[in-house]
Amino acid sequence: MTTSDSEPLWQTAAVLIGRLIFAGAFLMAVSFKFAGMQATADYIAAAGFPFSYPLAWLAAIFESALVLCFLTGALFAEACLLAGLYVIFLAFAFHGPSHWAGNQAEFGFFVDHFTFLAGLLFAAAHGPGRVLALRHTLIGKT
């Protein structure tokens, strides 16, 4: 069984599931922020960043925008690339080498961010799929 554009059904399903996983990951993150903005700000401050409360809100707004992009397919490549930069920033800021000595699990968290980056880069290169995607973009072709 295929879609009208000759793409196998399993590929269409895989792309949609991938988009839902990306959206779900960021939806969980933003939900925790909205449920406890001060706790998020405290975590940001503990990492040494000033203006932690505005940064917590900025992160929540950014993650909300990512969720919308992943669900709709609009600005999909841009969202994937920005999310990739964000994920790598988070890896170094909150799980980087300075954290490894105190807790070896932090190294695992650090490496996991690169796995997430790989998926985001692949998604950015291949797009949101042919179905259920608004396909508005500022870079590349639609």
What would the 3-class secondary structure string for 26-44 be? HHHHHHHHHHCHHHHHHHH
Q: Is residue 108 part of a domain?
A: yes
What total of structural domains would you count in the chain? 1
Q: For residues 43 and 23, what is the distance between their CA atoms, to the nearest angstrom?
A: 23
Beta-bridged to residue 2, according to DSSP, are 8
**What CA–CA distance (Å, rounded) separates 95 from 134?**
35
Q: Is the whole-model pTM more than 0.85?
A: yes
Report if residue 114 sits inside a domain. Answer: yes
Query: What is the C-alpha separation between 83 and 68, in angstroms, rounded?
Result: 12
> Looking at the domain assignment, is residue 97 inside a domain?
yes
Rounded-to-10 torsion of CA 131, 137, 139, 142:
40
Q: The domain containing residue 90 runs over which residues?
A: 9-126
Q: What is the CA radius of gyration of the chain?
A: 17
In a domain, 115, yes or no: yes
Residue 139 lies in a domain: no
Per-residue pLDDT of the chain (142 residues; tens, 9 = 90+): 444 557 889 998 999 999 999 999 999 999 999 999 999 999 999 999 999 999 999 999 999 999 999 999 999 999 999 999 999 999 999 999 988 887 889 999 999 999 999 999 999 999 998 887 777 777 766 5
Helix count (H) and strand count (E) of the chain? 6, 0
pLDDT value at residue 115: 96
Would you state the pLDDT for residue 103? 87
pLDDT at residue 2, rounded to an integer: 45
Residue 88 lies in a domain: yes
75 is a domain residue: yes
User: For residue 86, is it within any domain?
Assistant: yes
Read off the tokens for 67: 């969720």
